[in-house]
Structure 1
Amino acid sequence: MNFNLSKESVVASRTDIENAFITEYLPSADGDAVKVYLYGLYLSKNIAADVSLAEFSKNVGLELEKITDIFKFWQEFDLVTFTESPFAVTYLPISANYARARKYKPEKYTEFCSMLQNLFPSRAIGINEYTEYFNIMEIYSISQDAMLMIVKYCIDKKGEDISYRYISKVAKDFGSRGLTTCENVEAELNKYVTKTADIEK
């Protein structure tokens, strides 16, 4: 015997989100990652039928590869288990007491961290700030040198006491537009310089 909710009942019901997701994990994710997580959570709690990756992609308006990358991202936080073939996602319980930072090989960003700190000689960069930059580079595939260029641009524009949240916002904008290499980041920044010079004439 099968027990299912009607479409109307599903719409009228609700999907609860643990506060730990908001406090511990949301700050490390971009909008697409949050959208995919929440839609998947909704499906896991309300939809009995299987949903294909193609259907999921259509419903959230994101490319298939982007969705798989995002679920891999959440899997690294131990929030889900994920397989591509067959497409299957299992949501794991969240606990603020056991929240884990995303796993990175320390040697991967050693040089980046050193060069980044050199851009801020008057203050020490904290773990949360480093982690934010690591996550952005991983999610958007921004090269380390390109990320350093973006950070330097923000410092030149706003000063060394700039909030890393501002830098994060700028970097995510670049990443969302596919500006992920030194070459195209430099080209974009040159456009800004040219535009500013024209305005000041």
Structure 2
Amino acid sequence: MRSHSITRSTAETDIEVSVQLDGTGRYDNQTGVGFFDHMLDQLARHSLIDLSVRAKGDLHVDDHHTVEDTGIALGQALAGALGDKRGIVRYGSCLLPMDDALVRCALDLSARPYLIWNVDMPTAKIGTFDTELVREFFTALATHGGITLHIDLLHGINSHHIAEATFKSVARALRQAVETDPRKSDAIPSTKGAL
């Protein structure tokens, strides 16, 4: 079973994240930030990675620390579940439409964190959620998960649709990348012999 749990406690947040890579997309996410919970649910459902998040943050300040620290913990949990990455496909991509939004994601579970973010949200808020936090989440996820992550918005006029298409596109790409390659299930997917 490729699974891992992380507990992260700071003066700003207390986060517990558990992932099961070979899951069915079950989720139980409670961060205190409703829209963010909805996005995490999409990430789990469309990646087929079982995901549980419990977060208590300084929401009286704003949502920033909770969202960013959840990204950190989730990245660490994914990296822990992947271990030495033996047998994984490693790469994944997805071109995902959601109504007006069209988002492209390509990623590499390379242990070389890098985020290319070409997504402009047309509004500063989705309800009470700051749209700039979508980028903060993916920056933290890529950095602490060791993921090279490219996300491009090709079209979109509705911030909710853009954000949701972004999470779903990353989820579908992750689903591909974490799969076991049946032709090379015993090999590290790199000519270097390590990732």
Q: TM-score, normalised by structure 1?
A: 0.30
More RCO (CA 8 Å, sep 6+): 2
Higher normalized helix content (fraction of residues): 1
Higher normalized strand content (fraction of residues): 2
Bigger Rg, which one? 1
